[in-house]
Amino acid sequence: MTAQKNSRYGMVIDLDACTGCGACMVACAVENNIPPAPESANERTGITWMRVYKVLNGKSFPDTQAVFVPMMCQQCEHHTPCISVCPQKAVELDEESGIVAQIPVRCLGCRYCMTACPYHARYFNWWDPVWPKGMEQTLNPDVAPRMRGVVEKCNFCHGRLQAAKAKAAAEGRIEIRPEEYQPACSDACPTNAIVFGDLNDEQSEVSRMAHQKDSFRLLETLGSEPKVYFQSERPWVHHIAEQDFASPEKETVHG
């Protein structure tokens, strides 16, 4: 039996196809047992592993254009900022999958990783996880809720990866099939704007799209080698890749 090859899971998000509907955000929250925010939560204290930002091109009507940018952990691969600052080794890069894992039981809540993350894609638990009466029966049994006082983030639906591995093992396989592992966001997208897969597989759709001329990565000059790519045919959209648009405002304008 041959050894399992390492993967580099990533995604390409077609910004020209994204409508900003938010289905990916809802699917992510349901899949990963993210509790409803308390009434006192605000832009800084709420939790959403995936957030869709609206960005405008800064021009007046009728030349105004908007793009919706789904933002989650970018799964940095080189000198990963959050890993380099964590004093507890609560963040690890899994060499087998390429996924940046967050380990809540090790986290002491110092939030250094939140400061280091250039994508503002990490969230601190200010409250104990609580669900309305009856809703706790709908929780995903494959994902453990996180406790108050720790940081969390997108992990490409790690529970689904483990389920796919378990299925393959039960069938005597080492490798999992591409269709067996898809994050909730890509499954839920009604316009198929999110393409997920193994970037190491040159025959995969995600690898092909990542190498197209219209694909780019956010803040790529930082050298962290994120595994989330974006795609657009509009030049002004590419321009935002070098700018910090993840502000608390619901809309951000770029000229």
- Please name the amino acid found at residue 112: Y
Q: Is residue 1 part of a domain?
A: no
Of 249, 246, 196, the residue nearest 219 (C-alpha): 246
Whole-number Å distance between alpha carbons of 255 and 250: 17
**Distance between CA atoms of 22 and 71, rounded to whole angstroms?**
11
Which pLDDT tens digit goes with each residue over 16-33? Answer: 999 999 999 999 999 999
Virtual torsion, Cα 40, 82, 92, 130, nearest 10 deg: 0
Confidence at residue 1, expressed as pLDDT on a 0 to 100 scale: 44
Classify residue 4: in a domain, yes or no.
Answer: no
Q: What is the dihedral of CA 46, 141, 101, 95, to 10 degrees?
A: -160
* Residues 149-169: tens digit of each pLDDT: 999 999 999 999 999 999 999
The chain-wide mean pLDDT, for the chain, equals 92
The verdict on residue 3 lying in a domain is: no
- Single-letter code of the amino acid located at 117: C
- 10 bridge partner residues: 197
d(CA 230, CA 10): 11
Cα 85 to Cα 113: distance, rounded to the nearest angstrom? 6
Q: Residue 79 sits in which domain range?
A: 9-253
The pLDDT of 249-255, averaged and rounded, is 47
Q: Tell me, what CATH number does 149's domain have?
A: 3.30.70.20
Cis peptide before 36 (omega within 30 of 0): no
Q: What is the mean predicted confidence (pLDDT) over 210-230?
A: 95
- Whether 2 maps to a domain, the answer reads no
In a domain, residue 215? The reply is: yes
pLDDT category of residue 52 using cuts at 50, 70 and 90: very high
pLDDT at 43: 87
Residue with tokens 């890509």: 186
Q: What is the pLDDT of residue 5?
A: 80
Q: Give the count of domains, the chain.
A: 1
Q: Could you identify the residue written with the tokens 């995969």?
A: 204
User: Are the C-beta atoms of 207 and 197 separated by less than 8 Å?
Assistant: yes
- Residue 176, token pair as written in the block: 């999992």
Neighbours of 42 (CB within 10 A): 8
**Residue 220, in any domain of the structure:** yes
Do the domain assignments include residue 180? yes
- The pTM is what? 0.91
Integer angstrom CA distances of residue 69 from 20, 79, 245: 8, 24, 10
Question: Residue 120 in contact with residue 246, Cβ under 8 Å?
Answer: yes
Rounded to whole angstroms, the Cα distance separating 235 from 216 reads 11
Q: Higher model confidence: residue 80 or residue 251?
A: 80
Rg over alpha carbons for the chain, rounded to the nearest Å, is 18
Look at residue 35 and tell me if it is in a domain. Answer: yes
